Amino acid sequence: MPEERRHPQACAGCGQRTITGREGFPRVVAHRGASGVCPENTLPAFGAALGFGAMEVEFDAWLTADGRVVICHDPELERTTTGEGKVAEREWAYI
């Protein structure tokens, strides 16, 4: 029988389990990093997710109007920044 371990303390309320001993199943993927304990889509959130045992980190990447890559879940800036508008319509200096 494979060893069973609970998710990290930050996820203790979800009741989900990770089973070890079966390569690749289930996959533990951190959506936007460990966004419950760090600001989403930041290097600290990605590092925390890996530290908690995530096998993958999922994030969204957008191009700015001047061709720079920005990691942001939403195509618009309002929810996670003090900016306004769509990432694709703003230049890097604005963001």
Residues annotated as catalytic are 31, 73
Any idea of the CA torsion for 19, 20, 23, 28, to the nearest 10 degrees?
Answer: 60
Per the CB < 8 A criterion, the answer to whether 27 and 56 are in contact is: yes
Using only C-alpha atoms, the chain has a radius of gyration, in whole angstroms, of 17
Per the CB < 8 A criterion, the answer to whether 29 and 16 are in contact is: no
